[in-house]
Amino acid sequence: MEKMADIFVMGKKYKVPSRLTIMKALEYAGYQLVHGCGCRNGFCGACATVYRIKGRQDLVFCLACQTQVQNNMYIAMLPYFPLVKQTYDINKIKPDKQVMMHLYPEIYKCIGCNACTRSCPQGINVRQYIAYAKNGELKKCAEASFDCVMCGICSSRCPAGISHPQVALLARRLTGKYLAPKSEQLEKRVREIKNGDFDESLNRLMAKPVSELQKLYNNRDIEK
């Protein structure tokens, strides 16, 4: 017989196969997931979850799509973290140290506890990229935070109230616009799209039946 586990979802008890992830266990229990399941076995950051094992004091934050259920696991989904998201015009701000001081001054309250890094399901050194942001090293911050999926779990554990994903996003945007080398091929393709060079071929493609599109997709040339 398959090994089963008792889990509690919002306080209600269910018995599910112990081999399942939290996400699949919720569906097994009868929940229809509409939000927080964008990737389905990947990393989109939308299924942030908090759980506690009965008899333990610690709260654990994770992504439901990659975390296997445990017996006596008490689960609560966290579809949204109230991160600080500042408004700015990327064409008017500059890639200097002052931009972080102006938009996200809370990063200077960081006490270096490393709770953010320990909680990251991607294994990102969050404390390090915040340190880069504090020093105005935006390109380093962008590179160190590149794998961030903005699930917000790091911010949920931060005693300083830092919105780490938004800081990282700002660094990546500034790096892409001002600091990274220009891509001539990309700029050329953007000009071609704006000029309508591909409109005719796209219209022909969109007129094809779904079955033919599937065949074209499955037999496409993949660049190595």
Residues 106 and 72 in one domain: no
Q: Which of 56, 57, 58, 51 is nearest to 74 (CA)?
A: 51
- Does the predicted model carry a pTM greater than 0.85? no
Give the DSSP letter string of 85-123.
Answer: -----TTT--SSHHHHHHH-GGGGG-----HHHHH-TT-
- How far apart are the C-alpha atoms of 202 and 184, rounded to whole Å? 23
Each residue's pLDDT tens digit, 43-99:
788 888 999 999 999 888 888 998 999 999 999 987 777 788 999 999 999 999 899
Asked if residue 138 is part of any domain, the answer here is: yes
Strand pairing report for 4-9 and 12-17: antiparallel
* Collapsed DSSP state (helix, strand, coil) of residue 157: coil
Q: Which of 33, 37, 39, 69 is nearest to 51 (CA)?
A: 69
Residues 148 and 122 in one domain: yes
Residues 102 and 172 in one domain: yes
Can you give the residue range of the structural domain that contains 69? Answer: 4-77
Question: Residue 38 has what pLDDT?
Answer: 76
Asked if residue 89 is part of any domain, the answer here is: no
Each residue's pLDDT tens digit, 107-159:
999 999 999 999 998 899 999 999 999 999 999 999 999 999 899 999 988 99
Residues 175 and 103 in one domain: yes
Asked if residue 119 is part of any domain, the answer here is: yes
Q: Tokens 């094809």 map to which residue? A: 208
**pLDDT-based confidence at residue 101 (cuts at 50, 70, 90):** very high
Q: Which of 103, 131, 102, 135 is nearest to 117 (CA)?
A: 131
Residues 160 and 133 in one domain: yes
Question: Residue 193 has what pLDDT?
Answer: 95
Asked if residue 92 is part of any domain, the answer here is: no
Question: Residue 191 has what pLDDT?
Answer: 96
Asked if residue 67 is part of any domain, the answer here is: yes
Residues 191 and 171 in one domain: no
Asked if residue 224 is part of any domain, the answer here is: no
Domain with residue 34: its CATH number is 3.10.20.740
**CB-based contact 189:195 (threshold 8 Å):** no
**pLDDT-based confidence at residue 42 (cuts at 50, 70, 90):** low
Mean pLDDT of 11-27: 95
Asked if residue 145 is part of any domain, the answer here is: yes
Q: Is the pLDDT of residue 28 over 70?
A: yes
Q: Residues of the chain with pLDDT > 90: what percent?
A: 74
Asked if residue 42 is part of any domain, the answer here is: yes
Mean pLDDT of 170-175: 97
- Beta-carbon contacts of residue 144 (< 8 Å; ≥ 6 apart): 124, 125, 128, 129, 132
